Amino acid sequence: MDNFEPFDPSKHTAVDLPGGRKATEYLASEESPEGKAWNIPQIWFNTETGEAKFFASDKAWNTAQDYEKRTGNKFPRYDSITDAVSAAKKRSDSGGASKKSLINRSGN
């Protein structure tokens, strides 16, 4: 099974989008494993090849859960989907993954 990780500016470059735009991440606000809300990436990078993949819906959710279990790093949690969506918009407006990692690294 391939392992994937979210955008890391020290390893990855922005992904080309339709219309000539670029993205470092595309977030989904979903119900978290604990029943709250979390923001998770839909653009994932293969840890061996660096190739970017877009995962929608269940694939993104399962990849995020696998990543957390494998690394101990956590994606941000929120009390509601509304709060998660608001945080995702604010993050995007301030530069997204090119400015700050989405995850909380274990031990920090």
28-82 pLDDT, tens digit each: 999 999 999 999 999 999 999 999 999 999 999 999 999 999 999 999 999 999 9
Residue 32: is it exposed, middle or buried by C-beta count within 10 angstroms (0-12/13-18/19+)?
Answer: buried
Looking at residue 108, what is its pLDDT?
35
Element (H, E) at 86: helix 81-93
Instruction: Give the predicted TM-score (pTM) of the model.
Output: 0.88
The dihedrals phi and psi of 29, each to the nearest 5 degrees, come to -100, 115
Are 43 and 7 within 8 A, CB to CB? yes
